[in-house]
Amino acid sequence: MEEYNHKIIESQWQKKWLEDKEFEPKEDFSLPKKYILSMFPYPSGSIHMGHVRNYCIGDALARYYRQRGFNVLHPIGWDSFGMPAENAAIKHRLHPKDWTYSNIDAMRKELASLGLSFSLEREFATSDEDYTRWEQEFFVKMWEAGLIYRKKAYLNWCENDQTVLANEQVIDGKCWRCDTPVVQKEMEQYYIKITDFAEDLLQDLNLLEGKWPQQVLNMQKNWIGKSSGLQFAFEIEKKWAEKLGIDEVEVFTTRPETIFGVSYCAIAPEHQLVQAMMPYLNKEEQDKILEMTNMNARSRAIAQKEGVKLGISLIHPLSKEGIPVWVANFVLADYGSGALMGVPAHDERDYEFASLYSLPIRKVIECEDLPFCDEGILCNSSTFDGLPTQEARQKVIAWFEEHQKGRGVVNYRLKDWGISRQRYWGTPIPLVHCSTCGIVPESNLPVTLPYDVIIDGEGNPLQKHLEWKKCLCPKCHKEAVRETDTMDTFMESSWYFLRYTTPKAKRNETALDPQSMRYWLGVDEYIGGVEHAILHLLYARFWTKVLDRLGEIELKEPFEHLLTQGMVLKDGVKMSKSKGNIVDPNGIVRDFGADSARLFILFAAPPTKELEWSDSALEGAYRFLKRLWERSKNIKPSDSIPCVQTQGLSQESKLARKKVYEALKKSQEIFDKQMAGYPFNTLISSCMEALNALSHQDNQEVWSEGYYILLNLLEPIVPHLSHHLSEKYFGRKNFGILEIDEGALEDESLHIVVSVNGKKRAEVEVPKTASKEEILLIAKESVDKWIDKEVSKEIYVPSKLVNFVLK
Ligand code: ANZ
Ligand code: ZN
């Protein structure tokens, strides 16, 4: 028999699959369907182990469901806009478009070498012009529906480079390129009204309960951050109100019942009252406030607490006492109303701030130690004394509403999504600025990017492309100017999974084919890294709801099930370029083959857990495939399920059949019952045990039946070798639905614990009739990888335990 040669087998089958278009979904909508999707990659240039893991998990599912007769959509594409392409342009003088598309070509080949069963006809890149076109159409529809608007906002700005910086480009408050201190500059930005959908996004998390990891549901819930409370205004004392032309300060509180504990009011440095008060402050105070505004929200949150006293008094709505106003760096400008009532006795932050500036601390809930942030009984609160906090909360809100001084409100931490980017390599925002008509949507879509741009890292290249900017107003046909902002790339990844459902033939006439969507959606299993738990998944859910509202689709939630894969580690830390601990998948595929790589990846850990890279485990995977290859010589070729005469079988053969059917049962449990997290590793070890058990018996029918089933079970994991052996021995159409032989599962064996140097390493099952020698042999094979020295003693406790003592 020839040697196992993964190179020949794998290239042969990959070629055949391509020729036969094996993995294209069928247009027959009467078939049961599965839509299996692994998150699409950013085309950085080469795949890494995280990709391999992500796509092997998805591929195992896709292949399994195909075996079971489902019509499977398993597509791949490229999230191809974004900053790295522009950085490459600056660094290597490559055009972002050329760089991106050559990366895609390279990565497509790498993925193909893993034997992944993607539909190639459905592939696209989000920078393709016919994707841009439809995205811009959706943008215009949202603009016209009032879901996109323009407003001023503070952005990170580098004065030296004259450019806006993303948060990631601000390092220790300085520009990543030139070290100039970054300032906050107010600029016009486009926003999409995700806050309009906050309640739906929150409520519909209930539909995903039990189908998405709880951790992800919690993260989304916290990100949306619903809180209810009281919104009311403090009046500004008369003399200042007249001077400033502002007569009140609105605040939001989730603890209205602590109203008598207020000892100051804190406002954000951006608050309009601060602007109005600036001329009355001294230089030192002004500088301190400017310093606060020049920090972005993220840095401010971790900074030391700081405040500036404004020297104005507010009037407490109930006690009529004077309350001082402070500007404080921990108050967010865009949450609630950008101002809060400080209750140091019952809030950590307020306590810290009050202690820092020696402000009064007034206890209004009975307690021993301050700050006390729990529920309790009110005190020092006039008519509310003695009430439990929860009841008092309602009563205080009622008082404010009755006296028309405030109202109960719901606030969300979620903010509208700023989608403008001042960069070249993105989807152009399809709007035109006309001096007569204002902002007008472009009617001739797509607006495509000009190729001839100068990318030098200074400012937005589109801004400097005067010819491209020049256009005619779609309304009045006079000269106008194009918008030069491009969209956040999260816009593209928010609907790519919808686009896949539309077959190529229909993609010119429509963005999303309704009939195809009705059939394919939602995505039955979505697989990706937990780093996308918030933004991408929230935006994709949001777009789904927007398109549903606009009548483009009928869908509440896009992803029925979500599997978040664990990280790939090496020596205990995340495998990453920056850590210099990368294992290159291409080398693995070359030396061991795609099947070994896939087997290792799915065997080394369950998909949701961290996976520690191990060369020896990879070699172990390779050895198993070699064994599978070599022992296949025992098969008696047939073109149907081999039939076994069960009467008179030896104990060993019975055990082998039992092991084989246990593996089959495991496979059905994992896939058909969608066992949480799909523990393929347990299926693989069952298959390994079954192969071992088959090897300890010599009935050729049992061999053949066992192989027939094992090749079926292993096909989603090691497709090349499984196909190869199946074709060789059973004709091509091996893979189908298998029935469990319950009789084979009945127990006629002993369970024996196997340890090495007293440490438990495995458990084996042996026939009740096995001799001591046979048991020792089976036991030794099961702990093979732990026996790295000579065995000095074999201890056998009959029917229970074997211990190997090493020298
Ligand atoms: C008085 C109070 C007393 C508060 C107390 C808390 C405890 P969540 O729950 O996250 O919604 N707050 C209001 N506006 C703010 C802003 N713009 N920036 C920072 N903090 C702000 O937070 C609501 C609470 O955060 C509000 O309730 C307010 O402080 C503060 F014992 O009001 B509270
Ligand atoms: Zn016009």
Phi, psi of 124 (to 5 degrees): -155, 170
Bridge-based pairing state of the strands 71-73 and 33-38:
parallel
128-162, pLDDT tens digit by residue? 999 999 999 999 999 999 999 999 988 888 888 77
Q: Would you list the DSSP string of 183-208?
A: EEEEEEEEEE-GGGGHHHHHHGGGGG
Q: 160 versus 689: which is more confidently predicted? A: 689
Residue 447, pLDDT > 90, answer yes
Give me the helix-helix angle, 49-67 and 651-672, nearest 10°. 100
Which ligand approaches the C-alpha of residue 440 most closely? 2
Which ligand approaches the C-alpha of residue 433 most closely? 2
Please determine, looking at this structure, whether the domain spanning 749-806 carries the CATH number 3.30.70.3420: no
Question: Which residues fall in the annotated binding site?
Answer: 577
Q: Cα of 413 to ligand 1 centre, how many Å?
A: 11
291-322, pLDDT tens digit by residue? 998 888 778 878 899 999 999 999 999 999 99
- Does ligand 1 come within 6 angstroms of the Cβ of 414? no
pLDDT at 734 (0 to 100): 63
Same fold for the pair 629-744 and 749-806: no
Which ligand approaches the C-alpha of residue 437 most closely? 2
Q: Cα of 254 to ligand 1 centre, how many Å?
A: 6
629 token code pair: 């290859």
Please determine, looking at this structure, whether the domain spanning 629-744 carries the CATH number 1.10.730.10: yes
Residue 53, pLDDT > 70, answer yes
Q: Cα of 162 to ligand 2 centre, how many Å?
A: 29
Q: Cα of 336 to ligand 1 centre, how many Å?
A: 8
Long-range contacts of 767-771 (CB under 8 A, 24+ apart): 767/650, 767/651, 767/652, 767/654, 767/655, 768/651, 769/651, 770/651, 770/652
DSSP bridge pairs for 152? 188
Q: Cα of 251 to ligand 1 centre, how many Å?
A: 9
- Does ligand 1 come within 6 angstroms of the Cβ of 264? no
Ligand 1 atom at minimum distance from 229 CA:
27
pLDDT at 286 (0 to 100): 96
Single-letter amino acid, residue 653: S
Q: What CATH architecture applies to the domain 226-412?
A: Alpha-Beta Complex (3.90)
362 token code pair: 């007034």
User: 3-class SS at 764?
Assistant: strand
224-258, pLDDT tens digit by residue? 999 999 999 999 999 999 999 999 999 999 999 99
- Does ligand 1 come within 6 angstroms of the Cβ of 255? yes
Ligand 1 atom at minimum distance from 337 CA:
17
pLDDT at 733 (0 to 100): 65
pLDDT at 65 (0 to 100): 95
331 token code pair: 């108050």
Average pLDDT over residues 271-290: 95
Confidence of residue 785 (pLDDT cuts 50, 70, 90): confident
Residue 1, pLDDT > 80, answer no
Q: Could you tell me the residue ranges of all domains in the chain?
A: 136-193+417-487, 226-412, 629-744, 749-806
Average pLDDT over residues 538-545: 98
Other C-beta atoms closer than 10 Å to the C-beta of 178 total: 12
Candidates 226, 262, 327, 335: which one to mutate for ligand 1, based on the most atoms within 8 Å of Cβ? 335
pLDDT at 788 (0 to 100): 86
Q: Cα of 135 to ligand 1 centre, how many Å?
A: 38
Other C-beta atoms closer than 10 Å to the C-beta of 245 total: 7
pLDDT at 731 (0 to 100): 84
How far is it, in rounded angstroms, from Cα 177 to Cα 202?
Answer: 39
Mean pLDDT of the chain: 94
The CA-based angle 138-144-146, given to 5 degrees, is 105
Burial category of 571 from C-beta neighbours within 10 Å (exposed 0-12, middle 13-18, buried 19 and up): exposed
Which ligand approaches the C-alpha of residue 333 most closely? 1
786 touches 671 (CB < 8 A)? no
Which residues are found with C-beta within 5 Å of the ion, ligand 2? 434, 436-437, 473, 475-476
Long-range contacts of 396-401 (CB under 8 A, 24+ apart): 396/230, 396/256, 396/257, 396/259, 397/230, 397/256, 399/318, 400/230, 400/232, 400/256, 400/317
